Amino acid sequence: MAKVNIRQSQIAHTYAVGSIGDFPGVSAMFLSHDYEEFDWGKPKDELEDDIQPNVRRIINDKRLSDAFGIENFVLPPLDSVSNNKIYVVRFPMSLYCPGCGRIHFVNDLENSFSGGLVPGANGQKFDESFRAFICSDCFQKSKRKIELVPTRFIIANMEGFIDDFPWDWYVHRKPDLRKHRGKGHKLYLKFGNASTSLGSISIISKDNSNKLVAIENLGEIFNQDKTFIAEGDEYLQYVKNRMRKPWLGRGGDSYVDDLIHDVPVPEQISRSGDGVISGDNEEIIKRKYPRTLQRGANNLFFPLVFKGIRLPEGTNNINQVLVNSLTELKKQLSASQPDTYSNFSNHDWKRHFVNSYTFIPKLQQYEKSVFHEAVECIFDENNGTITEDKKQKLRLEEFECFSNSEIVKSDEIWYKARHVSSIGDYLKNTLKLEKITLLDKINELKIFRGFTRIKPLVNDDLIFETDKSNLSEKRLLEYDRICDARKFPAKTNELPCAEVKGEGIFLKFNNNAFKEWENKKSVCSRFEQMKNNLSNYFTTFDIDEGEANISARYVFLHTLSHIVMQQLANDSGYSLSSLTEIIYCSKPHEQNEMNGILIYTSSSDTEGTLGGLVEKGDPNRLSPIISKGIDKAKWCSSDPLCITSKGQGFMTTNMAACYSCVMVPETCCENINKFLDRKLVLDFFNIETL
């Protein structure tokens, strides 16, 4: 596996930083784009040749970069024009021989084979780097070249740490055998013939004289309490509270590791009679301690990706870098001169910074209007903190751009819009549509902020957070689960992204149509059940749910979007998996109301897609598409179980919604198939279910 090509768009999800890729003979983890300074190319002004094949592919989008508190975004290198690559490390480091059963470790193989060079059939040596290693035992004994297989099991915790399964630690788990840990014994996997259960798989330890030292079956490796938090043999105590972060690279013979902070000491761990962890700190213990996972498990990697639409220049945005600088300056002044600044009100701070503008050169690099807007943002008269929801702000700007009939194209970016002048009686009066915008050209950035493990991030607004001091204790715990896309977040002022171009249909609904409907008793009762399900989930897992960002109208818009996507896939020629959505819905009681759906298709090709989707946005074609979709939603092959459900799907946040009716591939959905209910959609249109 000297070289493998991947699609550009995959660096934001499938092959993103921290993910595991399976390739012929090799299992590898993808490294941060700033692992080495110029891994993804050099800045243009540092290259000497005229062709500049290795130039860094930078995207400047002030609106989006300000929201993340960075300067710009960087695209992965293209093989056709660059010698730069996306780098990986082997993971896991433990490899299994199907011939003799021996477990080998990459660092040992590299040392014994002189850095991966092994004898070839012609007596010469060839480079096995990122090809399958061969078993050194079998090769030395019989000259057989048996390729090693990456082991199936790894360990990870909820804070993102990940490592090889501790084979040596586990096989010597009995008290009288613990003295053999770390002695370099040879380890073997043995598979029983009678059963396919884990209990039939054993790990064997032999010393250098091939004398049997220990044997242990794998029957309990998925029991976190009894394996990694066993009384008197807590795993984190053994490794001194340190685990590895392979996506940051290797240091010597092993991966970069880090300290797991605030791990409860053994005396703070309470157990029931059968050894199960209990007590007030049960959640934090299970969060810190690792658990066994299969290498290809779905919960091993949850990418944090924000889909931002690039808009024509001209929108006046708050400069987030300036906001961060002013916030830090305020902290420094308060700490250095507490007698002067400790009693400052918001008004005092605002006046102080406005008066300081002409005296601080660092501030004068910003236009005065931009500076004043940042000061107003920070020192809001209500509470002195940045109260805006950055995600909602970005969505509002997109919503207003698509709704503005005067914005039709841009010479700087891939954007072209057609605003439909007449939408027809059915769409206007029955579906309550107010506007249709056909986007012949739409440019999306898939911004990779980082990832979590074991469970997805519940509060997705945390990906924009730059100041942890404003977070509640529970939200801070959730924020600390985010593993940054960068190796050096403090100095790397860019995030990786994938740029895709395509076409889309924007539908804007009438605000007044929702107000009476939302107050209907049947709607309130049904939505209250969904909110209770969500609240129970947060309570069960001790999560701060924060401000509710859903409403009955969001459920309506989200479900209708899925219905329309499914029908468009049938009629437009695009597969369902090639379509995606953005829901524009204001929070309850927000001043700026949003009620819109954007359905679009995207491609990493420079010329975008071919117009088959916007063609279906013509009112004469769109009307029957939506009508047929709603008609299909009246019945599901899983009814009556589906239509009468009181909660199903992830976090039980769906009502009448399953994969037989309105759920779509998760790559299409902006909310991983949560908050769906076709009965609410039918209720909105006064349609009875079958």
pLDDT digits (tens, 9 = 90+) for 465-494: 887 877 888 889 889 999 999 999 988 999
Entry pTM: 0.84
Tokens of 670: 């902006």
| pLDDT for res 571 | 86
Q: What is the CA radius of gyration of the chain?
A: 28
pLDDT tens for residues 16-43? 999 999 988 889 999 998 888 777 777 7
- Note whether 388 and 377 are within 8 A (CB): yes
Read off the pLDDT of each residue in 63-86 and give the average, rounded to a whole number.
Answer: 84
Q: Which of 77-86, 184-193, 426-435, 680-689 has the lowest mean pLDDT?
A: 77-86
Residue 230 pLDDT greater than 90, yes or no: yes
Q: Are 606 and 409 in contact (CB under 8 A)?
A: no
**What is the mean predicted confidence (pLDDT) over 343-367?**
76
pLDDT at site 288: 95
Report, as an integer, the average pLDDT of 101-119.
73
Where does the pLDDT of residue 129 fall: very low under 50, low under 70, confident under 90, or very high at 90 and above? low
Chain position carrying tokens 């990870």: 156
pLDDT level of residue 513 (50, 70, 90 thresholds): confident
> How far is residue 283's CA from residue 664's CA, in Å, rounded to a whole number?
32
Cα dihedral sign, 433-435-440-446: negative
Q: Cβ(106)–Cβ(88) under 8 Å? A: no
pLDDT of residue 380: 55
Q: Among residues 587, 586, 585, 584, which one has the least CA distance to residue 600?
A: 584
Average pLDDT, the chain: 85
In this prediction, residue 7 has a pLDDT band, given cuts at 50, 70 and 90, of confident
Give yes or no for residue 119 having a pLDDT over 60.
no
pLDDT band at 680 (very low <50, low <70, confident <90, very high): very high
Mean pLDDT of 229-247: 95
Name the helix (H) or strand (E) containing 655.
Answer: none
In the prediction, which pLDDT does 263 show?
Answer: 94
> Is 53 a residue whose pLDDT tops 80?
no
Backbone angles phi, psi at 153, to 5 degrees: -110, 140
Q: Which pLDDT value is given to residue 277?
A: 85
126 band by pLDDT with thresholds 50, 70 and 90: very low
Task: Give the residue-averaged pLDDT of 134-144.
Answer: 86
Q: Is the pLDDT reported for residue 259 higher than 70?
A: yes
Given pLDDT bands bounded at 50, 70 and 90, which one contains residue 346? Answer: confident
Residue 143 has pLDDT above 50, yes or no: yes
Residue 212, pLDDT above cutoff 90: yes
673 sits in the region (left: phi over 0; alpha: psi -120 to 50; else beta) called left
Would you call 633 exposed, middle or buried from its count of C-beta atoms within 10 A (0-12, 13-18, 19+)? Answer: buried
